[in-house]
Amino acid sequence: MNKKNSLVLVTIEYLFALLVGFMLYHLYIDNYSLVITILIANIVMTTIIFVFSMLHNNSSVYDPYWSVIPIFIVFLWVLHLDVFNVTSILILFGVTIWGFRLTINWVTDFKGFVEEDFRYVDFRNTFNRYYWFISFLGIHMFPTLIVYLGLYPVYYILTHNISNELFVYLGTVIMILSAILSFFSDSQLREHKRNSKKESIRSGVWKYSRHPNYLAELMFWFGIFIASLSIEYNSINSLGIIGMILLFNFYSIPKMEKRLLKSKNDYSDIVDNVPRLLPVSLFRN
């Protein structure tokens, strides 16, 4: 199936999942808290997308879930709580900008169902007949839960009185900056791939960090956490960003670097000379 037809089909499938999620919200909101209701809907929607992944025999069907569903969740929180003020608008704006940019990036790079993320292919080769069980838990459900945990500070902000608005502004700025950094890092990498298949990228933001795209992703979740400090520090609000830091540093980055060390002859030099994540070289003489 070509890219155009694949995109149409994925869009229909996500709209169906969102419709089911919205129906579950109406069904359970009178029996459970808003957080639990949306969590139930989130799990069911993830399961629906997992079924479509199995039907297409491609777990990459889940990839846009990471950026599409958070916008839906935050908007539903704001709508249900009837909190339309500067704080809610700023946070919703930050989440929407991040989600929209990430989704556009996915659409740009998506080649259709003919290609699956290399990490999922590795899972297939490693777990063989247990692949779909691993896919459900590790590729679909785990990211859904950790993203929901990362979004929880938004719910906390919407349901508490703000004591210091400065943190809301700061958090929103960080979220927007994360989208800008993501845009440049992805655009520069895409352009580099068009011109060079063999050499590692060393230009633009990539000369300051080996993984500026991952840094940008962490910045977004850090921005949400910072915004929650407008009320007070709450250890539960920090669980999302801690989980994201662990996920990227102990899985995503090592997995990508292992692949790059195999495919790029000069990547070992990049490892020796370019900071792993934070651009600390900016502060060197």
Task: Find the largest Cα–Cα distance for the chain.
Answer: 60
All residues at 6 or more sequence positions from 234 whose CB lies less than 8 Å from its CB, including other chains = 156, 228
Q: Average pLDDT of 119-140?
A: 95
Instruction: Decide if pLDDT at 281 tops 90.
Output: no
Joined together, the tokens standing for residue 73 give: 């969740």
Q: Is the pLDDT of residue 252 over 50?
A: yes
Which of 32, 213, 3 has its CA nearest to residue 109?
A: 3
Q: Give the tokens for residue 185.
A: 């890092």
Alpha-carbon separation of residue 230 from 150, 166, 233 (angstroms): 16, 7, 8
141-145, 204-208, 230-234, 280-284: least confident range: 280-284
What distance in Å separates the CA atoms of residue 227 and residue 44, rounded to the nearest whole number?
Answer: 29
**CA separation for the pair 115, 257 (Å, rounded):** 20
Single pTM value for the model: 0.94
Q: Which range has the worst mean pLDDT, 62-66, 107-111, 153-157, 277-281?
A: 277-281
280 pLDDT tier (thresholds 50, 70, 90): confident
**Is 242 in contact with 164 (CB distance < 8 Å)?**
no
In this predicted structure, what is the pLDDT of residue 38?
97
Q: Which residue has the higher pLDDT, 198 or 181?
A: 181
Task: With cut-offs at 50, 70 and 90, classify the pLDDT of residue 160.
Answer: very high
Task: Supply the Cα-derived Rg of the chain in whole angstroms.
Answer: 20
Instruction: Report how far apart the first and last C-alpha atoms of the chain are (Å, whole number).
Output: 52
- Work out the number of other CB atoms within 10 angstroms of the CB of residue 4: 9
Count the neighbouring beta carbons within 10 Å of the beta carbon of residue 163. Answer: 10
Pull the structure tokens for residue 31: 């029996």
For the residues of the chain, what is the DSSP string, one character each?
--HHHHHHHHHHHHHHHHHHHHHHHHHHTTTS-HHHHHHHHHHHHHHHHHHHHHHHT-GGGGTTHHHHHHHHHHHHHHHHHT--SHHHHHHHHHHHHHHHHHHHHHHHH---TT---HHHHHHHHHHGGGHHHHIIIIIIIHHHHHHHHHHHHHHHHHTS--S-THHHHHHHHHHHHHHHHHHHHHHHHHHHHHH-SSSPP-SGGGGT-S-HHHHHHHHHHHHHHHHHTTT---HHHHHHHHHHHHHIIIIIHHHHHHHHHHH-TTHHHHHHHS-SSS-GGGG--
| Per-residue pLDDT at 284 | 47
Q: Which residue has the higher pLDDT, 228 or 114?
A: 228
For residue 222, pLDDT over 80 is answered with: yes
What is each CA distance from 188 to 15, 123, 142, 175, in whole angstroms? 31, 29, 30, 20
